[in-house]
């Protein structure tokens, strides 16, 4: 009997923090669904050009990239659930940088017509498991002019890793 009580209390202790971390307030509150536009080249994904954040719509879900992380919800107004990088759908990750309304500062050096360099953001282990190739990785080098400029300013490989 005592063993069952201890196990029950322990389960409650572990469950409470996990539940608190799943649904988060990301500071994005829309009074109505934001207008959406198809992303050229990634027709399955739409983006919200008038939103004050990086808001995408794919597979009947809203996807938001904020503070270096992804969040998802079936509704435009949440609740938002934190999504680990390995679970973000490939079409969402394929959206070119130019369709991010609020890109992180170090993305400004990246090619605007290409997707963000997720392999550089989340590391080689993530890229290997997802079979993800950043545009520069497909060439087998990191010699693009935008990459040299980024490295000169202290940005580049590994920046943002671990987020």
Tell me whether residue 3 is in a domain: no
Cα 138 to Cα 160: distance, rounded to the nearest angstrom: 21
Look at residue 81 in the predicted model and tell me its pLDDT.
95
Using DSSP's 3-state secondary structure scheme, residue 157 falls into coil
53 alpha-carbon distance from chain centroid: 12
Q: In 3D, which of 94, 87, 88, 110 has the Cα closest to residue 43?
A: 94
Cα 56 to Cα 124: distance, rounded to the nearest angstrom: 25
Tally the domains of the chain: 2
pLDDT at 14 over 60: no
The pLDDT confidence band at residue 53, using thresholds 50, 70 and 90, is very high
Tell me whether residue 138 is in a domain: yes
Asked if 79 and 133 sit in the same domain, the reply is no
Asked if 66 and 122 sit in the same domain, the reply is no
DSSP single-letter state for residue 45 = E
Asked if 84 and 27 sit in the same domain, the reply is yes
| pLDDT tens digits, one per residue of 64-90 | 999 999 999 999 999 999 999 999 999
Between 144 and 73, the more confident residue is 73
| pLDDT tens digits, one per residue of 83-126 | 999 999 999 999 999 999 999 999 999 999 999 989 888 888 88
Please answer whether residues 62 and 54 qualify as being in contact, where contact means their C-beta atoms are separated by less than 8 angstroms: no
pLDDT at 135 over 70: no
Max avg pLDDT among 22-26, 30-34, 55-59, 151-155: 55-59
Please answer whether residues 85 and 76 qualify as being in contact, where contact means their C-beta atoms are separated by less than 8 angstroms: no
Please answer whether residues 62 and 70 qualify as being in contact, where contact means their C-beta atoms are separated by less than 8 angstroms: no
Domain extent at residue 39: 23-90
State whether the Cα torsion 83-85-90-92 is positive or negative.
Answer: positive
pTM: 0.69
């Amino acid at each position: 009997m005592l063993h069952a009580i201890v196990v029950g209390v322990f389960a409650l202790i572990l469950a409470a923090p996990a539940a608190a971390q799943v649904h988060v307030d990301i500071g994005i509150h829309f009074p109505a669904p934001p207008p959406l536009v198809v992303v050229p080249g990634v027709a399955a994904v739409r983006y919200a050009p008038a939103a004050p954040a990086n808001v995408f719509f794919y597979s009947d879900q809203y996807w938001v990239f904020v503070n270096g992380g992804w969040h998802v919800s079936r509704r435009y107004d949440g609740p938002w659930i934190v999504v680990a990088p390995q679970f973000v759908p490939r079409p969402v990750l394929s959206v070119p940088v130019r369709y991010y309304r609020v890109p992180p500062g170090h993305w400004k050096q990246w090619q605007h017509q290409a997707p963000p360099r997720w392999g550089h953001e989340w590391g080689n282990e993530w890229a290997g498991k997802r079979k993800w190739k950043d545009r520069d990785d497909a060439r087998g080098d990191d010699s693009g002019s935008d990459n040299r400029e980024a490295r000169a300013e202290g940005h580049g490989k590994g920046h943002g890793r671990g987020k």
